[in-house]
């Protein structure tokens, strides 16, 4: 990679390749076409307890899973116990209401093997008169595609206002349809009383790694300067806490921050919306990226926390910093990224979220190309086909002192180690050599 005028070797114009293998397989589970859209649809309702407060409970599960092996059954029970907490992360401060603006958000559950499942949630107030309680429709899937599942939840909400019974044929039709490849469309037939048969088209974005992302949500709330401070902290695997009141804002912004790291993957604690009962997560000594509702700010600040970057998404400011955020990224690269992000912010010709996503992602991928794009030429291949990464030579190949200083820190992170481990296993034959 090069620092350009700061004097280094020639840069490649292609992004670092995402290796296959253990981590790659994890990613392919996330994005592969042809599998089920979802594992479950669950309905989480608020049930009144003997002491008068309300607790979230699963009141419906589709499909009901049978003939599971013991280990699968235990994992399913753990999953089903966790879901209500994340559907109502704001605790038990509920009472029957007459009006409620439905909201869409998501959460992530990490399995013991490191694989992740996503819960796509629509919290809504059922149609009716008088006071009533909101409920959450939650779709559990291992596929990361927020826009697509938001559209599915639109259909679920539309049917919920007619009758619960109209939802399940639609979800069954969805379950029987293959998940489309990037850029492709699948059409679901669905019958609605008094409306007849509807055709619902669900299209996947062309760029699979951006389909779970809404960078616009981040750009609307934070300045490009602040986004770069957050990116630099995430790159060095620090502790990051995001604050907002709306669950949708927290989940969208945290997914966007994690996506800035592509082609690397955040491999530590990752909770877009932390349930109230798990607020002590912020005491963890290990890296984390979490979202917390603003109402819990005082409780969070009272916790015996180690150094963390705390970001207020409502006011667009940092509440608490480590102090060196300005110096982490090399000055020249940081300025180039600022110019690029400001141009995207001010470009009135950019209309669609897909265009914004592509432009923002390009800025950060280009940064990684400049910093680590030369990694492939520093893997020494043995006769057996296994590779060995030459870390010292890799770092020394960068002429710019500021880039080399950052690189020496970045190579020690978990995300870089995982990336290189997979690269060492996945040699691609060079052109002309078969």
Residue with the two structure tokens 């994005």: 31
pLDDT reported for residue 79? 82
pLDDT reported for residue 428? 55
pLDDT reported for residue 164? 84
Q: 3-class SS at 49?
A: coil
CA distance 155 to 172: 13
pTM, two decimals, is 0.82
Tokens of 130: 């008088």
pLDDT reported for residue 224? 93
Looking at the chain, the domain(s) classified CATH 3.30.450.200 span: 40-209
Looking at the chain, the domain(s) classified CATH 3.40.50.11500 span: 238-322
Q: At what angle do helices 331-346 and 353-372 cross, to 10 degrees?
A: 170
pLDDT reported for residue 351? 65
pLDDT reported for residue 412? 95
User: For residue 394, what is the DSSP state?
Assistant: H
**pLDDT < 50: residue spans in the chain:** 1-34, 429-434
pLDDT reported for residue 11? 32
**Percent helix, strand and coil across the chain, each rounded to 5?**
40, 20, 40
- Side-chain-side CA neighbours of residue 322 (13 Å): 20
pLDDT reported for residue 19? 37
CA distance 267 to 419: 11
Q: What is the pLDDT of residues 62-81, one digit of tens each?
A: 887 776 677 777 777 888 88
Provide long-range contacts, Cβ within 8 A and 24+ apart, for 167-173.
167/41, 167/137, 168/62, 170/200, 171/38, 171/41, 171/62
Burial 258-268, CB ≥16 within 10 A → b, else e: bbbbbbbbbbb
Kind plus residue range of the DSSP H or E element containing 44: strand 40-48
pLDDT reported for residue 346? 62
Instruction: Give helix then strand counts, H and E, for the chain.
Output: 14, 14
CATH topology of domain 238-322: Rossmann fold (3.40.50)
pLDDT reported for residue 365? 94
CA distance 112 to 54: 31
Q: From 3.30.930.10, 3.30.300.30, 3.40.50.2000, 3.30.450.200, which CATH number describes the 40-209 domain?
A: 3.30.450.200
């Amino acid at each position: 990679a090069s620092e350009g005028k700061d004097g280094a070797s020639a840069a490649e114009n292609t992004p670092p390749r995402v290796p296959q293998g253990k981590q790659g397989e994890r990613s392919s589970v996330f994005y592969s076409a042809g599998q089920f859209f979802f594992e479950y649809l669950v309905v989480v309702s608020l049930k009144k307890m003997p002491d008068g407060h309300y607790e979230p409970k699963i009141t419906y599960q589709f499909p009901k899973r049978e003939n599971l092996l013991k280990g699968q059954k235990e994992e399913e029970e753990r999953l089903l116990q966790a879901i209500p907490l994340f559907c109502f992360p704001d605790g038990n401060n509920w009472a029957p209401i007459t009006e409620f603006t439905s909201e869409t958000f998501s959460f992530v559950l990490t399995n013991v093997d490191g694989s992740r499942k996503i819960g796509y949630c629509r919290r809504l107030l059922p149609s009716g008169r008088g006071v009533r309680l909101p409920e959450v429709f939650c779709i559990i899937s291992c596929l990361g595609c927020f826009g697509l599942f938001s559209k599915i939840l639109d259909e679920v909400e539309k049917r919920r206002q007619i009758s619960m019974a109209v939802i399940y044929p639609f979800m069954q039709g969805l379950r029987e349809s293959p998940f489309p490849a990037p850029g492709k469309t699948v059409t679901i037939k669905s019958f609605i009383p008094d409306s007849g048969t509807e055709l619902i088209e669900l299209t996947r974005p062309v760029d699979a790694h951006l389909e779970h992302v809404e960078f616009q949500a981040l750009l609307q709330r934070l300045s490009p300067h602040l986004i770069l401070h957050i990116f630099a902290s995430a790159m060095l695997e620090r502790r990051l806490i995001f604050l907002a009141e709306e669950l949708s804002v927290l989940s969208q912004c945290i997914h966007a921050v994690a996506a800035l790291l592509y082609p690397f993957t955040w491999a530590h604690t990752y909770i877009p919306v932390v349930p109230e009962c798990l607020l002590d997560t912020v005491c963890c000594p290990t890296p984390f990226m979490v979202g917390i509702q603003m109402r819990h700010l005082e409780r969070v600040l009272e916790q015996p926390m180690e150094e963390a970057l705390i970001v207020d998404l409502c006011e667009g400011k940092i509440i608490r910093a480590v102090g060196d955020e300005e110096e982490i990224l090399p000055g020249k690269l940081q300025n180039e990224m600022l110019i690029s992000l400001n141009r995207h912010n001010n470009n009135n010709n950019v209309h669609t979220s897909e265009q914004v996503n592509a432009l923002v992602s390009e800025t950060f991928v280009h940064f990684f190309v400049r910093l680590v794009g030369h990694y492939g030429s520093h893997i020494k291949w043995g006769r057996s086909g296994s590779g060995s990464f030459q870390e010292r030579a890799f770092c020394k190949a960068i002429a710019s002192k500021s880039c080399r200083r950052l690189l020496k820190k970045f190579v020690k992170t978990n995300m870089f180690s995982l990336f290189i481990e997979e690269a060492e296993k996945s040699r691609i034959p060079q052109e002309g050599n078969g």
